Amino acid sequence: MSVFVDTSALYALLVRTDEDHAEAARAFRRLLDRGRSLVSTSYVLLETTALLQHRIGLAAVRDLDARIVPLLRIYWIGEDLHRRAPERLLQSDRRQLSLVDWVSFTVMDGEGIREAFALDPDFEAQGYRVVPGG
């Protein structure tokens, strides 16, 4: 069974000074040890890379690219999915949820993924099981 991987968890995993780093690292190791298939999107990679580059530096981006990305199955977002996600964003009328979030939810729904490696409470609010916690 697949687990969706969100920016919030990737950031905490890669930034040792993040308050959630230890919990994210333990949860990530458990997912790998259990042989869980880890899924993410090109939009999550873009968002994570931008955050790491701006806040931490290129060494963190290198870690993401070299150590984490090879463990993920990436959904490359095309025109169809890119158009469906803003429709959901606008229908939800929830300003706090980003386009990246809605792309993530759309991929999860389309693939039947009900669990997310995420520290973003919006995943749980949308009805997904969240690791760690939840």
The average pLDDT across 110-115 equals 97
The average pLDDT across 39-44 equals 98
pLDDT tens digits, residue range 63-93?
Answer: 999 999 999 999 999 998 888 877 777 777 6
The average pLDDT across 5-33 equals 97
Give the confidence band of 11 by pLDDT, cuts at 50, 70, 90.
very high
For residues 54 and 8, what is the distance between their CA atoms, to the nearest angstrom?
15
Q: What is the pTM of this model?
A: 0.92
Structure tokens at 26: 């333990």
Nearest to 122 by CA among 90, 88, 92, 96: 96
Cβ atoms within 10 Å of 124's Cβ, excluding its own: 14
Whether residue 23 has pLDDT greater than 80: yes
What is the reported pLDDT for 115?
98
Q: The domain 2-131 is classified under which CATH number: 3.65.10.10, 3.40.50.1110, 1.10.3720.10, 3.40.50.1010?
A: 3.40.50.1010
For residues 48 and 65, what is the distance between their CA atoms, to the nearest angstrom?
11
- Indicate the domain borders of the chain: 2-131
Average pLDDT, the chain: 93
Give the confidence band of 129 by pLDDT, cuts at 50, 70, 90.
very high
Whether residue 134 has pLDDT greater than 60: no
The average pLDDT across 46-50 equals 98
Structure tokens at 51: 């955050």
